[in-house]
Chains A and B, each alone.
Chain A
Amino acid sequence: MSRRLIQLIFFIVQNPFISNFLTGRPYNGPAKSFCAPGLHCYSCPSMAFGCPLGTIQYVIKYATMIPYLAIGTLAAFGSIFGSASCAYVCPFGFFQELLYSISPIKNDTAKLPSKFRYFKWGNLILLVIIVPAFGLAQGFCAWVCPSGLITAGIPIIAANEGLRSSIGITFYWKVALSILFLVLIFREKRAFCRYFCPLGLILGFFNKISLLQIKLNKDTCINCHACSKGCPMGLNLPEEINSIDCIKCGECVPACPPKIHALSREFEFVVPKKKKVKSEA
């Protein structure tokens, strides 16, 4: 099954209440007690589950405690799949890939300098943890998250006339920032994931130890870097395989020339069959 099809299935599973866009009211059933491992605003009218990043900030800000539910959920997914849920489950990742596929300005080789990846760290440490911990705001949701604005803010404000009078400087700031993100997304594949997403970073912490691993056969690899060309995260492969920025999408595996076949993706608990050693008679 292709990755795009799996993304579509997860997108439909997470967004079954499309008709809620007409009323501008989010679904508020029991599924909202669970976090889905992807960036998708829980205020989005069609969303069935909670956003782990929003939940982390909300619990830290209003209850001043460790967000056990979101961390437990992310650690469970991360320890098994690493950040593969970014590649298969995340609706905003899917949205970015669709936009890029129709983009007239896309550039497969475009890359901001790798130092821009530190924005992820800043977003996580400062906006997701420190700002809410001091009770100031849900920093990432309030000031940065384009998913919140695009999938929740604009549809809800469009459907509820009464909310329009509340539009202020924060809204205009988020609109300007989201336009900047959209330009980047049209130019670079998964640009928001590459440089800004703190959720991908949290899941990326588990990449080295997760059961799902991209394996490199160093004996057959000829360092042609053909795998780099297939990487939606713009990583320098094969050096950065399973790194904190890798989303384990597996696009690098078929990009490796068939005669070399140095890359594979497998679950660690599948024990390889031992070769029988012929005993000398």
Chain B
Amino acid sequence: MKRILIVSIILLISAIFILKAWIHEIDDYGTKEVNLVEAAGKNVCMSCIGLSDENVFEKIFGTDEEEPEDE
């Protein structure tokens, strides 16, 4: 009985989460989380197929090249 109660609570929270993804707008343009998921699935993901050569060290430490200063 205790297990059924816990599972019911988890299912309720899951339903709220899924509903939130479908109706809650995450920015001023009315984008919902489900739109992000849809966009991710509809395009070829360069990361997934192994063509995303993201330079993580560059993102963490920045580039060595300094921006030219305005004279």
Pick the residue among B38, B45, B53 that contacts A41 (CB under 8 A): B45
Decide if the interface of chain B is mainly helix, strand, loop or mixed. helix
On whether the beta carbons of B36 and A58 are closer than 8 Å, the reply is: yes
Counting from the closest, the 8 A-B pairs by CB-CB distance are A72-B17, A32-B41, A153-B49, A69-B21, A28-B42, A148-B48, A142-B47, A171-B50
List A residues 200-241 near B (Cβ within 8 Å): 206, 209-211
What 16 new A-B contacts, CB under 8 Å, besides A55-B41, A142-B50, A170-B54?
Answer: A32-B42, A42-B40, A50-B40, A58-B45, A69-B22, A71-B17, A72-B16, A75-B17, A76-B14, A80-B7, A137-B47, A148-B50, A153-B49, A173-B50, A209-B3, A268-B3
Tally the A-B contacts, defined by beta carbons under 8 Å. Answer: 172
Chain A's closest residue to B40 (CB) is: A58
Does A83 sit at the interface, judged by CB under 8 A?
no
Give me the interface of A with B, judged by CB distance under 8 Å: 25-26, 28, 30, 32-33, 35, 41-43, 49-50, 54-55, 58-59, 62-63, 65, 67-73, 75-76, 78-80, 131, 134-138, 141-142, 145, 148-149, 152-153, 156-157, 163, 166-171, 173-175, 206, 209-211, 268-269
- Count B interface residues, CB 8 Å: 40
Q: Tell whether, in the assembled complex, residue A75 and residue B10 are in contact, meaning their CB atoms are under 8 Å apart.
A: yes
Q: Is the interface of A mostly helix, strand, loop or mixed?
A: helix
Q: Once the chains bind, are B54 and A142 in contact (CB under 8 Å)? A: yes
